Every structure is written in C-alpha cells, then in structure tokens.
Amino acid sequence: MIRTRFAPSPTGYLHVGGIRTALFAWLVAKQTKGIFVLRLEDTDKNREVEGSAQHLIDSLNILGLKYDEGPDVGGDFGPYKQSDRLDIYKKWANKLIEDGRAYADPYSTQEVQLFREQAQKNKLPFLYRNHRPDKPPKWDGTQPLRFKSDPKVHKWHDEVMGDLSTGPEVIDDFILIKTDGYPTYNFAHIVDDHEMAITHIIRGQEFISSVPNYLNLYEALEIKPPIMATVPHILGAEGNKKLGKRDGAKDVLDYIRDGYLPEALVSFIATLGWNDGTEQEVFSRDELVKKFSLDRVQKSGARFDEQRLRWVNGSFIRAMDTDELYTLTADYWPKSASDAPEPYKQQVLGQIQERLKFLSEIPELTNFFFEDLPVNLDLISSHKQLKKLDKQELVNLLEQTLAALAESDFSIKDLNEKLNGLLEKSNQKPAVLFSLIRVATTWAQSSPALAESLNILGKDLTLNRINNSIEALR
RNA sequence: GGUCCCGUCGUCUAGUGGUUAGGAUAUCUGGUUCUCAUCCAGAAGAUCGCGGGUUCGAAUCCCGCCGGGAUCACCA
C-alpha cells in the first residue's frame, strides 16, 4: 500500500511551489488507490502564523487534493500535528542516546556561531562535528541534543534525480531536539514518516543536500528509508531564483479568487515540469492520476508563466457547458448586474465564454450589457474606418439604423436581415456600418458579435442607446 | 569556498546514436460580412551553454570548461 504525505509547516499561505509537491504526492498515492496524508510540521513556534493551518487545508480542499488522513480528519497514525507528538520524538531520541548516537551540545549559541564564522573565514564548510566534545554532559533538556553522525559515503536513488552519491564531508552532527523541547525537522520528519508508514517522500529541491544526513540517521535509527523523490523548484517570472513569496508568488487561493478553475490550476501545475511524452498539453484530474509518473518529472526548474496559465484556464472554460460555467460565476458579475434576471446573465455568459480567460474578467467583458457606458468619442476618432467620416455622416447612418431596427423583432435572424439590408441601402462597408452600430450601442472597447449583442440588449435598450449616441454626436 | 543538481525556440517541453530537431504557448501576418476573442491557415523564432574527444554518424556517450540553482540554522 502506497502512502504519501504532504508535510507543510503552518508559516504562511500555500503557493504554487508548495502545491506542486502536494499534487505530485497526491497523484502518486491516488494512482494506486493509496493513502495521502497531511501532516502539519509545527515545530517552530516562532515562525508559526495564526490561521495558516486552516489556510493550507482550505487550499488543498479547493484544489481537490483530498487527504485521507490528517489533523482535522484523523486516521490510524495520528496525531497528525508534530507538536502533539513530542513524546514520540523523545522515545526515539532516548534510543539514540542509549545507543551512543546522540549527545548533549555543551556549547552556547555564541560559541557555535564563532566556530561557524571561523569556518567561513577559512572558506570551509561549517562542520559541527569538528568540535564534537569528548565528554559531553548528560542531556537534561537545557542543551540541544545532537546526532552523533558516522561520516561516510552515501549512495541512493531518487525517483526524479536518478542515482546520487555524496562523500563523508557532507555528514554532520545536526540538532535533533532544540532547547525548547521541540524536535528539528531533520529528526521529526524521519520519525514521523516511519511511524506513519510513509512509502514515498516527495519534497522540494532545498532538501536534497540534507538527504545524506538523513540517510546517516536512518541507519542509526535502524529504519529503512522510504522511496525519495526530489522535485525541482518553480522559478519566478524573472531571474533564476526559486519562486518565493517575495517575488510575488501568489497564494493559490488568490488564483481561485481571480477565477482560475481548480482543474486548470492542477493541470497547469502538473505540466510545469511533467509531461506524459505525448503532445497532450492539458490534462483532467483523472488523466493525471492515470498517467502521472515521477520518473517523467523534469530535473530542471520550470518558470511559472502566468500567460500560459491563462491559456490553460481559458481552454478549460471554453470546454465547459455554459450552464455549468454559470454556476461558478455568482461572485464575479459587475455590480450593475445585481438586478439582472438569471436567464439574461446566462445569455451574456454564453456570448463571452470563448473570450474569457478567468472569471474576474467578467465585469469588463460584460458591463455594457447591464449599464449604459459613458459616451467615449475616442472610440470613433481612433477607429481606422470611422474617423474618416464626419459627424453628419455618422448621424445619418445612425438615423437610418434607428429606422431599420425599429421594424425588427430583434431575433438574431431578423437582426441579421435588417443589418444586411442596411448595408445595401447605405452602400457602406461592414467595417464602417457595423463598427459604428457596435460602438453606438455599447461604447465598449470590444463586444461579442453585433446581432447577438443587440439580441441580448433587446429593442428598447438598443434604440435608446442609438438615440443617445445621435444626441452626443450632434 | 566545499558538496550536490541542472543547462533544447522568449516560455513550458518532445527527444536516450541516424529526425528537414517535433508540439504547445507567446509574437507577427492572412482568413472567418464590425471590435475583442475563438477557430483555421501561415511566418518568424533553437549555432541543442561552450570546447575537446569516442563514432561512418552526437542534442543524445566520455572529459574539461562556463553559466545557473540548492545547501553548509536550535527554518522547514
């Protein structure tokens, strides 16, 4: 039974980088009907951010990365919050002490800092074990507890990175338990993954250089290491640095709020560094579960390109039934639409669906259906066809339009007939006549096809707006 | 500085000794009786980081170099 976990620390919101490791872990579990576990790594109470645990949970849920075991849903391997597991770490720490593989750190933080600066000055990597005390005091909890490492060569396989190896020079005596009584990540995650029977550890690249140290500890603990997979970082839009909150890495919930579809987000994030070897570009969640494999995950970091995300999201939006899409749009309509009847909004949505990239674009794409936009003569003076006509000609054309449309029943079919008739009678090119009518009835930068737009607006509103436009032009 | 990882169109990528180096996106052009978008057609865009080697033949294998990244916390 495959068991994977996502083990974030509740220190802030979840951004795309975090989501991706969660997604990959979820996919690995789900494709074999395995178990996906959420574990909160809250061992640093200084960095803990109020409310972020709930935020993490909300983010996973909204993306559909449902976990089978976790702090709020329980499970047979709990507790799922590290701060509730302190006695478990104590138990394993005592085993190490008894085996002579852990000892109390007698130095003050200042003294250790001095060692570190010395090493830096000599351009050497800092190794605590070079200062390992001969006769450490008995550990009473007032000192950090350190791992007594056994420096050696480590070779291991990483599902993404392949075969890796390092020499003894990277192995050090890291801290297992801090003076506040909490374990470090380095210690806690190994104990927890073992106690929770985790089979695959999927984590970000920042941990790869620590893996040999973990391997060393696994040996001392006599625990068989799980399968490991290291996924590369997602890069920010500019530069080659890991995408971080500083570079505007957005909270995934911000994308949801902007009207990106969870399915689209999942597809996009999965294909950032993974593909199935075919030319398929977007994947449903089910396809991902079926086709995903760690060994096809890219070793190099991928750049987060919001433009591509917009395209993916647009393609999901276009593929949906308008009715289904409509159920997602409730929070996105412009204020002026609040009194508009549902069928009217639904019709409007049908017209803009194919140009919609994300839901919060709805107001700018639809506002003229719900309110009279201010007359903006720039739309005419900057139009490459319309600017050639003088005001009198424009007014004449609009008056002809008024007369013709007054006869129409405003069905799309009849509107098209009337508009075509107008075209012949006025002897104008569509680029002139239709542009003018479009502008005069919407005063918007862009709008759906003319007959369809007028059909939705209806006769009264259309004729009113043309009248108003004539007034404005005079 | 030590250690480890990475390096194919702007971007995401296909590619594991023989391909006109493929796709997608973005950009540009044309078409779809008007705009924006969709859709369709087309263009441009990659000396496969660089230099050696192995080979009849290398983006693919080997070596060196360069560039980028990660890490060297009582953070995870």
**CA of A241: nucleotide with nearest C1':** B69
Residue range A372-425, pLDDT digits in tens? 999 888 888 888 888 888 889 999 999 999 999 999 999 999 999 999 999 989
Alpha helix stretches (DSSP H) within A99-184: 109-121
Using the C1' atom of nucleotide B14, identify the protein residue whose alpha carbon is closest: A277
Q: Give yes or no for residue A100 having a pLDDT over 70.
A: yes
C-alpha torsion A410→A411→A416→A419, nearest 10: -10
In order of A9, A17, A194, A239, A332, the CA distances from A51 in angstroms are 12, 20, 28, 31, 26
- Band (A273; pLDDT cuts 50, 70, 90): very high
Give the residue whose CA sits closest to B23 at C1': A279
> What are the residues whose beta carbons fall under 8 Å from the beta carbon of A429, sequence distance 6 or more?
A385
ipTM of this model?
0.94
Separation of A270 CA and B52 C1' (Å): 39
Q: Is the pLDDT of residue A466 over 90?
A: yes
Each residue's pLDDT tens digit, A389-402: 888 999 999 999 99
A263 closest CA partner among A304, A315, A221: A315
Q: What is the pLDDT of residues A115-154, one digit of tens each?
A: 999 998 888 899 999 999 999 999 999 999 999 999 999 9
Instruction: Give the residue with minimal CA–C1' separation from B36.
Output: A446
Nucleotides of B strand lying within 7 Å of any protein CB atom: 1-8, 10-15, 22-26, 33-39, 68-76
pLDDT band at residue A427 under the 50/70/90 scheme = confident
- A246: pLDDT strictly greater than 80: no
Average pLDDT over residues A359-370: 96
Per-residue model confidence (pLDDT) at position A288: 97
Closest residue, CA to C1' of B15? A277
Share of chain A above pLDDT 70, in %: 97
**Distance between CA atoms of residues A206 and A296, nearest Å:** 20
Token digits for A65?
A: 């990365």
As a rounded value in angstroms, the CA-to-C1' distance for A307 and B8 is 21
Looking across all nucleic acid strands, the nucleotide with the smallest C1' to CA distance from residue A82 is B76
Nucleotide nearest to A237 (CA to C1'): B11
- In angstroms, the CA of A58 and the C1' of B72 are apart by 35
Q: Could you report the per-residue pLDDT of A288-300, keeping only the tens digit for each?
A: 999 999 999 999 9
Q: What pLDDT digit, counting tens, does each position of A75-86 carry?
A: 999 899 999 999
Closest residue to B22 by CA to C1' distance?
Answer: A279
